[in-house]
Amino acid sequence: MWLTLRAMALLLFVSVCSQAETRTLALYAGSAQGLDGQSRSAMRSELQRLLEPAGIEIFWKDIADRKTSENFELIAVASFEGSCSPPVTTSTPITVKLADTSITDGHILPFFRVDCTRVVQLLGSQVEPTMVGRALGRVIAHEVYHIVARTAEHHDTGVAKAVFSAWDLKDPRFEFDRWSVNRMGAPSVAGISDGSDASSR
């Protein structure tokens, strides 16, 4: 099934219109176990908030419902592993890999996976659904950055940095810095943080 999704997404990726006036990204996402409606809404809102400065509009899609008349400038395919439902109690890991994007022969492919279990573990126990959704949106935004910028490189601050802390997932001000927005080819970076006051720990 996953191989079929990859093949379909690659065909979509090479067939989209690169001259579109509006930069649109179709995000074909698999089901996320344990993700409730409130968390899902927060995840989608946070992802759009983070990518808006880069001039990217997200369209969440089901790959089974793909229509030949649809055209998107950018495409990504997401899969979720583990459970996105926070446990009552959990041990918080210090450093974990929350997600990864597929790379073949040095080329970034439009596929990524999110480890929901590790994301909620990093948040800690008894967190609000909106916080879970916001955290997932930030992890997804990081992987979308790699796909849109076509780079495996990270930056020192913001959503494009290599390692997220629990504070990064919870901090209301966490966002892409100016450098990362530029890497995604934004037409304008007005009003974007330069990352100099970003918090991390």
Let me know if residue 100 belongs to a domain. yes
Let me know if residue 193 belongs to a domain. no
Kindly tell me if the per-residue pLDDT of 197 is higher than 80.
Answer: no
Bridge-based pairing of strands 23-29 and 74-81 is parallel
Let me know if residue 79 belongs to a domain. yes
Rounded to 10°, the helix 37-51/129-149 angle is 40
pLDDT computed for residue 12 by the predictor: 46
List, for residues 70-89, the tens digit of each pLDDT value: 788 899 999 999 999 876 55
Q: Which domain holds residue 13?
A: 2-173
Bridge-based pairing of strands 99-104 and 107-115 is antiparallel
Exposure b/e, 70-106, CB count within 10 A at least 16 = b: eebbbbbbbbbebebbbeeebeeeeeeebbebbeeee
Number of domains in the chain: 1
Kindly tell me if the per-residue pLDDT of 13 is higher than 50.
Answer: no
Question: Measured between alpha carbons, how far is residue 162 from residues 47, 159, 168 in Å?
Answer: 18, 8, 12
What average pLDDT score do residues 179-190 get?
A: 72
Let me know if residue 192 belongs to a domain. no
Let me know if residue 46 belongs to a domain. yes
Let me know if residue 181 belongs to a domain. no
Better pLDDT: 100 or 91 = 100
Let me know if residue 15 belongs to a domain. yes
pLDDT computed for residue 127 by the predictor: 87
Share of residues in the chain with pLDDT > 90 (%): 55
CATH code (residue 16): 3.40.390
Position of tokens 């573990």? 121
Better pLDDT: 97 or 28 = 28
Kindly tell me if the per-residue pLDDT of 113 is higher than 90.
Answer: yes
Q: Minimum mean pLDDT among 19-28, 102-111, 133-142: which range?
A: 19-28
DSSP H stretches of helix in 16-128: 37-51, 116-123
Query: How high is the mean pLDDT of the chain?
Result: 80
Let me know if residue 21 belongs to a domain. yes
pLDDT computed for residue 146 by the predictor: 95
pLDDT computed for residue 72 by the predictor: 85
pTM assigned to the model: 0.78
pLDDT computed for residue 22 by the predictor: 63
pLDDT computed for residue 95 by the predictor: 54
